[in-house]
Structure 1
Amino acid sequence: MTRPRPATLTAPDGTRLACTDHRPADPPGATPLLLLHGLAGHQGEWDALAAHLSADGHRVVTYDARGHGASTRSPADTTRAAHVQDAVTVIDTLDLAPVTLLGQSLGGHTALLLAASHPHLVTSLILVEAGPGGPAPELPGRIARWLDSWPTPFASPGETAQFLGHEAWTRTLEHRRDGWHPSFDRATMISTVAELATQAYWQDWARVTCPTLLVQAEHGTMRPDEPATMLTRRPQTRLVRIPHASHDVHLDQPARLHEAVRAFLLDLDRT
C-alpha cells in the first residue's frame, strides 16, 4: 500500500470532513470502498481493515463523520440526511462511484440510507452491526448516560483504552492541563441519534437493490429479531456472524471481518 493521503473536503453546508485515501501500491483493479465509522468514533478505527483491503487491490477511503475526529466538531446540522450528504460529497469529490459502502453501527445506518436513496453511486453494501432498527425512544438517554459514565478527564491514553476496551478509542483524545478528553461534543453526539429515537427505516431497507452483506457480532447489540427480519424482507442478503466479537467487530476481530468482506466481494466478482 502507498502512503495514505489525508485531505479535508467541504460539504455543501460548509462542514469540513477529514478523510484519508488509502491507495494500493499497484493501480487499483477492484471496486473502491468507502468505510463509515460509528457514533463517537473516528476514521482511524478502520486502519487495520483498510490495510488488508488495500493489499487485496482495493482503493479504500475513510473519513471522520461530522462532529467526530478532525471534522467540524459542532455542525449546525446533525440529521441523518446531512450524514448521507457528507458521504455523497466524499464519493463525488474523490470520484469513487460506483463504490462499495462498508459501515459499522451508525455509519452502517448512514450507508444503508445512502444505498437506498442514491443507488447509482453504490455497487454493494456491507453493514456491520447495523440495520433499519427503530424507533428507539430510549436511545438518546442511553447515549447520554454512556458518555456521562466516562471518568473524564482520563489520566492517560492507557486508562482510556482500559475503560473503553480498545486502543483505537484513544487516538483522537485531546491533552489538556487536567488530563485527556474526548475530541467530540456531548450535545452533538446526542443530537446525532435523535431521529433514531422516533423513526424506523424499514422502507429504506426495502429500497436497497444492491448486493448486501450483514455482519453480526456474537456479542453485539443488534435487536434480537432484527437480522432475521432483514433477511425475511430482503432474502438475497448474506448474513455472517463473527464469533468472539462485540459491537466493535472491526476492532475485536479485524482479520475475521476482512475474511468475510473479502469472500463477499470475491463472490460478487464471479457473478
Structure 2
Amino acid sequence: MVHLASEPFMETAADGLPLAGEIWQPHGAPAVLFAHGLGQTRLAWRGAAAALAARGHRCVSFDSRGHGESGRVAGGGYALEQFAADLRQIAGRQPQPPILIGASMGGLLGLLLAGELRPAPFRALVLVDITPRWESSGVARILDFMQAHADGFADYAEAADRIAAYLPQRRERKREDQLRPLLRRGEDGRLRWHWDPALLSGLAQESARHQPRLLAAAARVAVPVLLLSGSRSDVVSRATVAEFLALVPHARHVEVPGATHMLAGDANDDFTAAIGAFIDTLDGAARP
C-alpha cells in the first residue's frame, strides 16, 4: 500500500474558534470526512484515513473544539449546536458533499445533520459504534475513565499503564511518541489529557436529553448509511441496533468481531475494509 503524507490545515469556526485538521489526497475523490468521539483527536483516524487515501479518496479529519490542537471555549460553555455547526462548516468546505465517518459523538453529530438538513451535508453516513439511543452503563464507564485522572500523570509510563488497564483488549502498549500528542504538561509538571475538562460538565452530562431529537433525526435520514459496531461493545447492544435499523430501514449493519467501542483502534484493518466495501457500493465511488 502507498503511504501518503497528510497536509495540516486550520479552519476558523463561525464564533472565531480555531479548528485544527489535516487532509490526505487534497485532489482525490470522493471526499471522506472523519469526526472523532468525545475525548479523542483526529489521530484516531490516521490509519484508516491513510488507507482510504491510498485508494484515491480525499480524506479530511479535524480536532473538535475543546480537543487536541483546536481551540477551547472561554468559560467552558460547550453546546451540541457548536459541534454540529463546526462539522457542517468543514463538510461544506469540501469540493462535493463528503462521506462522513463518525465515531460516537462524531456519529451522533452526523446523524443529527443528515436527518435535520435538506439537502443533507453528507453523501453517505458511516456510524462507528453509536446509535441514537445508547447503553448508559457503557457511556458511564467512558466518562468515569475521563474523570478519574484530573490530577494527571507523573510521566508517560504512568499514562500508558492507565490506558492499558482501561483497554485490556489492546495487544500493544502505548508508546511515548503515541501519547505525546494526547497529553499536555502543566505548570506543575504533570501530564494531563488534551481535552478541556469543561467538556465533562457540559456536553457530556446533558447528552441523554438529546436522545429524542436524535431518534427523530434518524427516522428522517435519507442518505445511504452503514452502522459499524464492535461485538464486545458496551455502548451499543442488539437492542439499540435493532431500534436503529427499524428507524433507518435502508441502513446496513456490520459487526466487527472482537472489537469494543474503540472499534477503529481495536481492529483497524477490519474497520477500514468494511468502510471501503461500503464506499464501493455507492454510485460513482472510486474503485481501487
Query: What is the TM-score normalised by the length of structure 1?
Result: 0.88
Other structure's SS at 2:194 match: coil
Q: Give the 3 Å change call, closer, same or farther, for CA 263–154 of structure 1 in structure 2.
A: same
- Counterpart in the other structure of 1:55: 54
Give the Å deviation of 1:223: 3.9
Cα RMSD, aligned residues only:
2.5
- 5+ unaligned residues in a row in structure 1: which ranges? none
- After TM superposition, list the pairs within 5 Å mapping 1:103-122 onto structure 2: 103-118=102-117, 119-122=119-122
How far 1:135 sits from its partner (Å)?
9.9
- 1:243, distance to aligned residue in structure 2 (A): 1.0
Secondary structure of the corresponding residue to residue 258 of structure 2: strand
Kept after mapping to 1: 8 A contact 2:102/2:126: yes
User: Percent sequence identity over matched residues?
Assistant: 29
- 1:163 Cα shift? 1.6
Q: Measure how far apart 1:169 and its partner are.
A: 5.6
Matched, 1:180 2:223: no
CA distance in 2, matches of 1:67, 1:117: 25
Q: Give the structure 2 partner of residue 254 of structure 1.
A: 268
2:149 aligned partner: 150
Does residue 9 of structure 1 match 2:11? yes
Cα separation, 2, equivalents of 1:124 and 1:101:
6
The residue matched to 2:202 in structure 1 has which SS?
helix
Q: Are positions 1:199 and 2:210 aligned together?
A: yes
Q: Which amino acid aligns with 1:171?
A: P
For residue 131 of structure 1, what is the amino acid of its counterpart? Answer: T
Comparing 166-175 and 112-121, the one that deviates more? 166-175
Matches of 2:157 and 2:52 in 1, distance apart?
A: 28
Instruction: Compute the displacement of 1:99 (Å).
Output: 0.7
Residues 40 and 189 in structure 1, CA contact (< 8 A), matched pair in contact too:
no
Structure 2 counterpart of 1:38: 37
Please give the alpha-carbon distance, in whole angstroms, between the structure 1 residues aligned to 2:143 and 2:259: 24
The whole-number CA distance in structure 2 between the counterparts of 1:240 and 1:145 is 28
Provide the C-alpha distance between the structure 2 equivalents of 1:131 and 1:77, rounded to a whole number of angstroms: 25
Query: SS state of the match for residue 244, structure 1?
Result: coil
Instruction: Give the one of 200, 224, 227 matched to 1:211.
Output: 224
Q: Per-residue CA shift, 1:121-168, capped at 9, x if unaligned? A: 2110000011111696x8997665332323742233243233224735
Q: Distance in 1 between matches of 2:65 and 2:103?
A: 15
Is the CA contact 2:4–2:53 (under 8 Å) kept in the aligned structure 1?
no
Cα deviation 1:86-115 (Å, max 9, x = unaligned): 0111122x3243110001111111111121
CA contact (8 A) 2:229 2:256 kept: yes
Q: Is the 8 A contact 1:97 1:121 kept in 2?
A: no
Contact 1:153–1:178 (Cα < 8 Å) also in 2? no
Distance 1:148 1:135, change over 3 A: closer
Q: List runs of 5+ in structure 2 lacking aligned partners.
A: 165-172
> Normalized against structure 2, the TM-score is what?
0.83
State the Cα distance separating 1:175 from its structure 2 match: 2.5
- In structure 1, the partner of 2:170 is none
In the other structure, the counterpart of 2:181 is 171
Task: Say which SS state the counterpart of residue 34 (structure 1) adopts.
Answer: strand
